[in-house]
Every structure is written in structure tokens, then in C-alpha cells.
Amino acid sequence: MTSLAIIGGTGFDTLPDLVIEHRAPVTTPYGDTSAALLRGRLAGHPVLFLPRHGATHGIAPHQINYRANIQALAQVGVTDIIALGAVGGIAADCGPGVLCVPDQLIDYTSGRELTFFSDSSRGDERAAVLHSDFTSPYCETLRQQLLTSAAAANVPIRAAGCLAVTQGPRLETAAEIRRLERDGCDLVGMTGMPEAILARELGLCYAALTFVVNWAAGKAAGEITMDEIHANLTACAGQVGQVLRAVVQV
């Protein structure tokens, strides 16, 4: 039996349609999660929700305790994770408002706790594994479920794409975005890693649902403003909610 969790990102510190039944603080060997896990129902179906930036969006991308968050979800029996992510658009068809289920990523982050295998002195049996296959960083089964659900909900969605994960919290320079584009990236966000690899290390099925809230640096005239980002977040929220409601009903 699967147990689904949704990790909320920018714009989703709460999940508007979630009927909350239980708030569960979880202690992990890696410290505290970003917030208490919320157990509830979405469209009548059980789901767990965790806002990765904290309940009031106080935790920056580089300060998130990704290990505690993923470990906590595994500890309470979660098998599948849908990770929401507000991103910048790099590819010509990834303008503001576009939803995408990426199939690849490139990790440009640094200095983050990026593995559960770093502390072999703890005698953890996981330390024996070390080199996880990450050829396809997302769970294909869950990716396909998201795409089928989007189609069922009549929500247009880009079926694949390469997500660049940058360190933040600043946005990129125009030259950095040109480099990411040359590398083959379609989208850019700040929280996709190490979340994806940590889920893989624990054997969880993890997929991302991204939504574009701004053209990446240099892709449109002028500066990127928070007003623009917030306006596009509001514009995307309805469609993201529709896909999530459809996916829990499968």
C-alpha cells in the first residue's frame, strides 16, 4: 500500500484544500523537520503535508534540513513524495505559468548535507550502500501518475524537462543562466537537491511538480521582482491544486 506525502515549496506553505486531521512533530536523528507533519485528507484521500520552508516560510533553501524532512517522512511510513517547486523558466516554452514534471536534474548546489551515508561511524547499515543509482533522478511511476492526473484534470503540463538546482538564496546572473541553458537545463530552482537523492537513498518514490513563476535571469527584459513572482504563484496555484486533487484520486 502506498502512503503519499506532498512537500510544499514557495507559495505552498499550506495546502489550501487539505482537511487537517492531525499535526505530528517528528524527531529524527538529523534534527528537526521544517515544520510539524500535517496528516489530513485531500479530496477525501489520506495525505501527509510538509512545508519545506517552514510553516511561515522562514527557512531559506540552503538552510532547510533536507535530511530531517526526508527521514521523518520515511519514519512515518511514507512511500511516495510529490515535491512542489516554484521555478524560473529557461527554455523558450517554459514561461511563467507553465507546469512541468521534470525527468532530469543537474545539481549546482554546494555545502548542503547531501547524503544519509556520511556518518559511517554510527554503524548504520545504510553506510554499506553509499553509491545510489541516480541515472533517472525521479520515480517514473509517480511522474506518469502526475502526467495522467494532469490530463484527467485538463491541466496543460510539460511532460519532461531538466531542472537546474542552484544554491540561492539569490537569483542567478544572466551569464549563469546562459551557462545552465548550454548545459541543457530547462528550469531553475533552489530546493530540488539534495531532496531527490535523499529520497532515493531511503528507497522512496519521489517526483517533482514544478511551476514557473518568472523568466530566469536575462530571459526577459528588466529585473526579476518579488511582485512578479507572487503574481505568477497566485496564477499557478489553482492548476497545481487541480493536479494534486486528481493524483490522490488515482
Binding site as annotated, residues: 10, 52-53, 190-191, 214-216
Cβ contact 90:162 at 8 Å: no
E strand or H helix that includes residue 141: helix 140-152
Candidate segments 84-92, 146-154, 202-210, 234-242, binder of ligand HPA by CB under 6 A: 84-92
204 binds ligand HPA (CB under 6 A): no
Candidate segments 82-90, 109-117, 121-129, 151-159, binder of ligand HPA by CB under 6 A: 82-90
For residue 163, the cross-strand partners are: 105, 187
Binding-site positions for phosphate: 10, 52-53, 191
Candidate segments 96-104, 105-113, 187-195, 200-208, binder of ligand HPA by CB under 6 A: 187-195
Q: Which residues in the chain belong to E strands, given as ranges?
A: 4-8, 19-24, 27-28, 31-32, 37-42, 45-51, 80-89, 99-100, 104-107, 162-165, 187-189, 205-215
Q: What angle do CA 159, 164, 99 make, to 5 degrees?
A: 30
88 binds ligand HPA (CB under 6 A): yes
189 binds ligand HPA (CB under 6 A): yes
Q: How far is the CB of 134 from ligand HPA (least distance, A)?
A: 21
190 binds ligand HPA (CB under 6 A): yes
The SS3 call for residue 42 is strand
Residue of 33, 65, 214, 242 interacting with ligand HPA (CB under 6 A)? 214
